[in-house]
Amino acid sequence: MTQDTKDSPIAVVDLPTQPGLYRLLSSSSTVYYVDARGPYVPEMYRAHGAVGSASYPHDDTWVRLTSLESICVSVDIDGKAVPQRRGLKDSEYWKLIVGRRHQFDFRVPGGYLDTTDFWRIQRVLERIERLDEMPPEGERTVEARVPHPPGA
């Protein structure tokens, strides 16, 4: 697998064939991590960023993924990234791809029939970094380059 360097950044990671711990960076201060090093399905960690970034019940904790979809995006007239309709042949599962949004589906204990399903969609992925270990608490988020829009 290509290592992330200034001269050769990682563009695509196929999680089943390229196990590792990855940091997924976007324009937000919230950072997603995917750990595909274990014998089971990959896990996701959403490190909640600065004020203005939406917060969710399972932030800052590892959750086991039930699905990870790489969704193609198009750009609207204002230059905003807009996910294309689901089900297009260009969507790919269990791949991290720079320039796409990723939907993380996961299930946690509790709720109806003892489990509850959740999902999160990350902003457009701008950079993938392969890590040897998880950064210490307090160093897991980054400064936002584009503020979270009010009400979004």
Looking at residue 1, its pLDDT comes to: 39
Start-to-end CA span in the chain (Å): 36
pLDDT (average), residues 101-126: 84
Joined tokens for residue 87: 């089900």
Q: Is the dihedral of CA 86, 90, 93, 97 positive or negative?
A: negative
- The structure's pTM equals 0.81
Backbone angles phi, psi at 26, to 5 degrees: -135, -165
pLDDT tens per residue, range 2-23 = 455 555 689 999 999 999 999 9
Count of other CB atoms within 10 angstroms of residue 119: 11
Looking at residue 67, its pLDDT comes to: 95
Q: Are 84 and 90 in contact (CB under 8 A)?
A: yes
pLDDT (average), residues 125-145: 91
Q: Is the dihedral of CA 53, 109, 13, 78 positive or negative?
A: negative
The answer, yes or no, to whether residue 99 has pLDDT greater than 80, is: yes
Q: Are 8 and 127 in contact (CB under 8 A)?
A: no
Looking at residue 72, its pLDDT comes to: 83
pLDDT tens per residue, range 74-96 = 766 666 666 665 555 567 899 99
